[in-house]
Structure 1
Amino acid sequence: MKAITSIQNPLVKQLVQLKDKSRERRKTNTFLIEGIREITLALKGGYELETILFYPELFTSDQVKALTPLAINTIEISKEVYQKLAYRDTTEGVLAVTISKHHHITDLQFDTKTPLILVAEAPEKPGNIGALLRTADAARVDAVIIANPKTDLYNPNIIRSSVGGLFTNQVATGTTTDIIAFLKLKEIPVYCAALQASLEYHTQDFTKPTAIVVGTEATGLSKEWLEHAKQNIIIPMQGEIDSMNVSVAAGILIFEAKRQRGFK
């Protein structure tokens, strides 16, 4: 088994770039996962691990074998190397270099005739994207689509804040135009969370194929979405503040749809 003890090792320098730089993740078609739960969920979600790195005082070679019985490249690393590569303050001593997926909207597959889809247009903060994915996992939506993404899905803060939800959801990205065309082709009506010409969200029938679309708190949804909506929907606000966090709003809308469907 190979061991790396120096943070000056070329592979370590490359992995630091993989952690920090979207460009490196795109170039190599790989990304870093940190933590037992996240790696386990990635494997369950069909991701292929390229290399496992572990700090033996926190994570043993026997645990590595139990985590993945497949014969993949395994590297023992020192505390200094681990601290250089780790993203979280509290973690479990194991990381995995993982092969990315493509996330094309044309790859989406639905096991039901009445899919429930969450669409988020141009979310900027990785933490918000992670929270959306976590909410989507809790509701077991059929897909999450990110329109006009501002960051790549394998940003470590997305993985961390989603608690591995990136791997448990069916996720796709694309332009607003392409996503609208896809939904139209699949005959999935669009419900936009917007202030203009809106009806209260609970008055709508979400038991049929449904795409719930949310935008950013700052700018809302683009005109293109509003022009193609079956109906704009609004969450009644009773306080002084006229907006809420996008993941909170999405959670309210999605779980109303789940309530109408008998949480199926």
Structure 2
Amino acid sequence: MNKQILSTQNPLIKQLVQLKDKSRERKKTGLFLIEGEREIRLALKGDYELDTILFYPELFSQEQLNNLTAKQLNVIEISKEVYEKLAHRETTEGVLAVAKCKEHTLSDLNITSKNPLILVAEAPEKPGNIGALLRTADAANVDAVMIANPKTDLYNPNIIRSSVGCVFTNNIAMGSTTEIIEFLKSKHIHVYCAALQASVNYNTQDFTKPSAIIVGTEATGLSDEWLKSSTQNIIIPMQGDIDSMNVSVAAGILIFEAKRQRHFK
């Protein structure tokens, strides 16, 4: 018999609401909430450690729960009111998990390829953009995603949702711009910065060697530290009236040009 929680005033539910809403609580406890069967499956595939599964049986059956994971976990059956209190999405699936955060340090990053392709984003703020970058990285199967000078908690529910779980499938590391530049140099990885200054068209460059493609925010671009460390600044030629595009769109164009040159290996 599963444990049941039917009241939104239950202390555990109050704590989980804090995990959903507050970055500070996620950092303090080292825990975060995952919503949805697909996202939970991707987290398990990404070797995330789950602490608790919560499900609303009217939307997510015991049979579905049994098929979700073979691991012995703390399972709690919750009421509709509790589920609606915890759910972040309007399209509900009836299942959530409490998972343990990963550290995502550069020292823990495991790059097995001898010819890596890496996506670096400096100081991205909007969860939707971060999620879209992670989806692009997953689609291209890059070797790593690095976030320099992160402004947003990686386990923000909006990032998990907008990445459709790709936050769990990518090889992610975070650090300062200085630390990431030093890491790339130590691995002899060429640095290609998407920037307006001293740039050449992106499709003139050879991305078949170890390469990192660096993108910044649409508002401020990349910091001088990146531009000074660049192997070559690259640009996507614009044919309209503006000189920039959404960062995730730009990253997609650049990453898939590199994949095309590598014959999608």
| Distance (Å, rounded) in 1 between the aligned partners of 2:173 and 2:109 | 7
1:220 corresponding residue in structure 2:
221
Runs of 4+ in 1 over 2 A off after TM superposition: none
2:114 corresponding residue in structure 1:
113
AA paired with 1:254?
I
- Cα deviation, 1:199-242, whole Å, max 9, x if unaligned, reads 00000000000000000000000000000000000000000121
Structure 1 segment 48-63 matched on structure 2, within 5 A: 48-63=49-64
| Distance (Å, rounded) in 2 between the aligned partners of 1:72 and 1:110 | 31
2:242 corresponding residue in structure 1:
241
1:148 corresponding residue in structure 2:
149
TM-superposed deviation, 1:91: 2.0
Q: Confirm whether residue 171 of structure 1 aligns to residue 179 of structure 2.
A: no
Q: Secondary structure at the match of 1:69?
A: coil
User: What TM-score do the two structures reach when normalised by structure 1?
Assistant: 0.99
Structure 1 segment 62-101 matched on structure 2, within 5 A: 62-101=63-102
Q: Secondary structure at the match of 2:44?
A: helix
Q: Secondary structure at the match of 2:32?
A: strand
| Distance (Å, rounded) in 1 between the aligned partners of 2:16 and 2:151 | 22
Structure 1 segment 253-264 matched on structure 2, within 5 A: 253-264=254-265
Structure 1 segment 136-215 matched on structure 2, within 5 A: 136-215=137-216
1:11 corresponding residue in structure 2:
12
- Cα deviation, 1:40-97, whole Å, max 9, x if unaligned, reads 0000000011000000000012211210111110000000000000000002100000
Q: Secondary structure at the match of 2:192?
A: strand
| Distance (Å, rounded) in 2 between the aligned partners of 1:92 and 1:43 | 18
Aligned identity (percent) is 76
> Unaligned 5+ residue runs, structure 1?
none
AA paired with 2:161?
R
TM-superposed deviation, 1:145: 0.4
1:231 corresponding residue in structure 2:
232
1:36 corresponding residue in structure 2:
37
| Distance (Å, rounded) in 1 between the aligned partners of 2:123 and 2:190 | 20
| Distance (Å, rounded) in 2 between the aligned partners of 1:171 and 1:112 | 15
Q: Secondary structure at the match of 1:16?
A: helix
| Distance (Å, rounded) in 1 between the aligned partners of 2:90 and 2:152 | 23
| Distance (Å, rounded) in 2 between the aligned partners of 1:205 and 1:211 | 12
TM-superposed deviation, 1:106: 1.5
AA paired with 2:86?
L
| Distance (Å, rounded) in 2 between the aligned partners of 1:208 and 1:91 | 44
> Unaligned 5+ residue runs, structure 2?
none
Q: Secondary structure at the match of 2:99?
A: strand
2:132 corresponding residue in structure 1:
131
**Aligned residues, how many?**
264
TM-superposed deviation, 1:111: 2.2
| Distance (Å, rounded) in 2 between the aligned partners of 1:130 and 1:191 | 22
TM-superposed deviation, 1:2: 0.8
Q: Secondary structure at the match of 1:262?
A: coil
| Distance (Å, rounded) in 2 between the aligned partners of 1:180 and 1:113 | 18
Q: Secondary structure at the match of 1:247?
A: helix
